[in-house]
């Protein structure tokens, strides 16, 4: 049965899609290996944190065995609120790039930016601000493989490693699962 939500893919793999602050930084030469490793280390830590923050407690299915379940739910909600407030404070002192609809996974990214006109084949770093409460964006080195006349940009990432790929797939899957649940609960069916 169709739930009215299409699976989001890129390069034939599950992808994460959202409007996020995005910036492409062009490099004249390939990104140095030491810098790529530094990006991967920071990306790994940030994605691990995102996965932990994304683990929501089921409010509608209380665990009768735990006398503290309601307290844990309230604490979880307060921490999420605090993170949102910190994100707003950080974004006011550290302006973010323009939010653009982007689809990405560990293989690459696609977004539309009519203001960006680099040549296909150019090297660079894509910065994606996944959460407003993080000062640092995710950074992926890669190569532009196409830029269409209407501004659609497609980048193929340098291999970020299996651990990062698994975490991106996990957050993409969770996001897709939430969209399916929302579609089911609102009765949207194809």
Output the pLDDT for position 190: 45
Output the pLDDT for position 3: 42
Q: Residue 42: phi, psi to the nearest 5?
A: -70, -40
Output the pLDDT for position 87: 66
The pLDDT tens digits along the chain (190 residues) read 334 457 788 888 999 999 999 999 999 888 999 999 999 999 999 999 888 877 654 544 555 567 777 777 777 777 777 777 776 676 667 778 889 999 999 999 999 987 776 667 789 999 999 987 777 899 999 999 988 888 899 999 999 999 999 999 999 998 888 878 777 777 654 4
Output the pLDDT for position 183: 78
Q: Domain-by-domain residue ranges, the chain?
A: 9-59+67-186
Output the pLDDT for position 86: 74
Output the pLDDT for position 90: 67
CA distance 50 to 28: 32
Integer-rounded Cα radius of gyration of the chain: 19
CA distance 6 to 131: 24
The vertex-149 CA angle with 143 and 155, nearest 5°, equals: 15
Give the pair of three-digit tokens for residue 141.
């080195």
Q: Pinpoint the alpha helices (H) of 3-105.
A: 33-54, 69-93
Output the pLDDT for position 59: 47
């Amino acid at each position: 049965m169709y739930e009215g939500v299409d699976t989001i893919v890129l390069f034939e793999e599950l992808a994460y899609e959202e409007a996020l602050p995005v910036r492409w930084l062009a490099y004249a030469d390939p990104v140095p290996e030491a810098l790529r490793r530094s990006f991967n280390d920071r990306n790994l830590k940030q994605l691990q944190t995102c996965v932990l923050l994304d683990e929501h407690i089921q409010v509608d299915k209380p665990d009768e065995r735990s006398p503290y379940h309601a307290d844990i739910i309230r604490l979880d909600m307060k921490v999420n609120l605090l993170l949102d407030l910190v994100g707003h404070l950080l974004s006011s002192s550290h302006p973010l790039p323009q939010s653009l609809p982007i689809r990405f996974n560990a293989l690459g990214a696609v977004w539309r930016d009519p203001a960006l006109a680099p040549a296909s084949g150019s090297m660079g770093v894509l910065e994606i601000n996944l959460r407003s409460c993080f000062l640092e964006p995710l950074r992926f080195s890669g190569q532009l493989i196409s830029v269409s006349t209407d501004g659609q940009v497609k980048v193929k990432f340098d291999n970020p490693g299996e651990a990062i790929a698994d975490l991106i797939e996990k957050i993409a899957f969770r996001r897709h699962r939430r969209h399916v649940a929302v579609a089911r609960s609102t009765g949207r069916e194809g």
